[in-house]
Chains A and B, each alone.
Chain A
Amino acid sequence: MPAPSQRKISIPLHGASCLPAWSASREAQECFSLVDFVSSDLEDVAQKCSLSYKALVAVRRVLLAQFSAFPANGADLYEELKSSTAILSTGIASLDKLLDSGLYTGEVTELMGAPGSGKTQVCLSVAASVSLGLKQHVLFLDSTGGFTASRLYQMLQARAEDEEEQLEALQRVQVARAFDIYEMLGALQELRDSLSQQARGAFFLQVTSSTGPLKVLLIDSVSAVIYPLLGGKQSEGLALMMQLARELKMLAREFSLAVVVTNQVTRNSSTGPLKPALGRSWSFVPSTRVLLESKEATWEKANTQRIASLVKSSRQPTGIQVELDIGNSDAQELSPVTPTQGL
Chain B
Amino acid sequence: MGDAFRRAESGTQLLARLEGRSSLKNLEPYLFAEEGFPIHGDVIEFHGPEGTGKTEMLYHLIARCILPKSGGGLEVEVMFIDTDYHFDMLRLVTILEHRLVQSTEETIKQCLGKLFLVNCSSSTQLLLTLYSLENMFCTHPSLCLLVVDSISAFYWIDRSNGGESFNLQEINLKKCAELLEKLVREYHLALFATTQTIMQKSTNSAESSFSLKLQQETDTDYRPYLCKSWQQMVTHRIFFSKQYNSGNSKTFSFTSCHIKKKQIVKRSFSIAECGVQF
Contact residues of A with B, CB < 8 Å?
A: 14-15, 34-35, 38-39, 41-42, 57, 63-65, 67-75, 77-79, 81, 85, 107, 235-236, 238-243, 246, 249-250, 252-253, 279-281, 283-284, 287, 312, 314-315, 318-319, 340, 342-343
Instruction: Determine how close the nearest CB of chain A comes to the CB of B244; give it in whole angstroms.
Output: 10
In the bound complex, do residue A78 and residue B117 qualify as a contact, i.e. CB atoms below 8 Å apart?
A: no
Pull 19 A–B residue pairs with CB atoms less than 8 Å apart, ordered by A.
Answer: A35-B127, A39-B175, A42-B1, A68-B128, A69-B125, A72-B116, A73-B117, A75-B109, A77-B117, A78-B89, A78-B109, A85-B90, A240-B160, A250-B85, A253-B119, A280-B49, A283-B51, A284-B196, A287-B88
Chain B interface helix/strand/loop/mixed: helix
Q: How far is A329 from B54 in the complex, measured between Cα atoms in Å?
A: 41
Interface residues of B in 113-151 (CB under 8 A from A): 113-121, 124-125, 127-129, 131-133, 136
**Which of A41, A107, A246, A253 counts the most B-chain CB atoms under 10 A from its CB?**
A246
Does B99 interact with chain A (Cβ within 8 Å)? Answer: no
Please give the distance in Å from A129's CB to the nearest CB on chain B.
Answer: 22
State whether B84 touches A249 (Cβ < 8 A).
yes
User: Bound state CA distance, A241 and B157, in angstroms?
Assistant: 9
CA distance in complex: A322, B165 (Å): 50
Shortest beta-carbon distance from A287 to chain B in Å: 7
Give chain B nearest CB distance to A91 CB in angstroms: 23
Residues of B within 8 A of A287 (CB): 86, 88
Pick the contact of A69: B108, B120, B179, B197 (CB < 8 A). Answer: B120
In the bound complex, residues from chain B placing their C-beta under 8 Å from that of A252 are 85
- CA gap between A68 and B133 in the complex, in Å: 9
SS of A interface (majority): helix
The answer to whether A246 and B196 have CB atoms under 8 Å apart is: no
- Whether A340 contacts B90 by the Cβ 8 Å rule is yes
Tell me the minimal C-beta distance from B150 to chain A in angstroms: 8
- Set of chain A residues within 8 Å of B209, measured between Cβ atoms: none
Query: What 8 A-B pairs have minimum CB-CB distances, sorted nearest first?
Result: A239-B160, A74-B115, A74-B112, A249-B85, A68-B128, A238-B156, A283-B50, A68-B129
B residues at A contact (CB < 8 Å): 1, 4, 49-51, 55-56, 66, 79, 84-86, 88-91, 93-94, 97, 105, 108-121, 124-125, 127-129, 131-133, 136, 153-154, 156-157, 159-161, 172, 175, 179, 196-199, 248, 250
Cα A310 to Cα B109 in complex, Å, equals: 31
**B179 to chain A: closest residue by CB:** A39
- Looking across the interface, which residue of chain B has its beta carbon closest to that of A67? B128
B124 touches A81 (CB 8 A): no
A319 touches B248 (CB 8 A): yes
CB–CB A343/B116 < 8 A:
no
CA distance A38 to B126 in the complex (A): 13
A306 to B153, CA, bound (A): 35
